[in-house]
Amino acid sequence: MKPWSQAPGERSPKFYSVAEAARMFQTSQMTLYRAIADNQFPAVRIRGRLIIPAVAVERMIEAALGSNSAVDAADFVGEGAA
């Protein structure tokens, strides 16, 4: 899913696969899996599958743009758990 290339009226994704998120962040899937395992990147586990909440990605982008600096993905782990 590529929200930047969606047709008008098409719904944005709620989740990204690890592969999709890795492409978005221009990193390897293994790097992302390791970050998730180390509780350094937000993810949802459904049985054996990991998915990345789109809202977490959006918040990371907004925070980086708002602060004009790098943000730590670990700061977004557990945000929606409350």
Question: Which pLDDT tens digit goes with each residue over 24-78?
Answer: 999 999 999 999 999 999 999 999 999 999 999 999 999 999 999 999 999 999 8
Domains of the chain, by residue range, sit at 13-76
Please tell me which residue, 82 or 25, carries the higher pLDDT value: 25
Phi-psi region of 9 (alpha: psi -120 to 50; beta: other; left: phi over 0): left
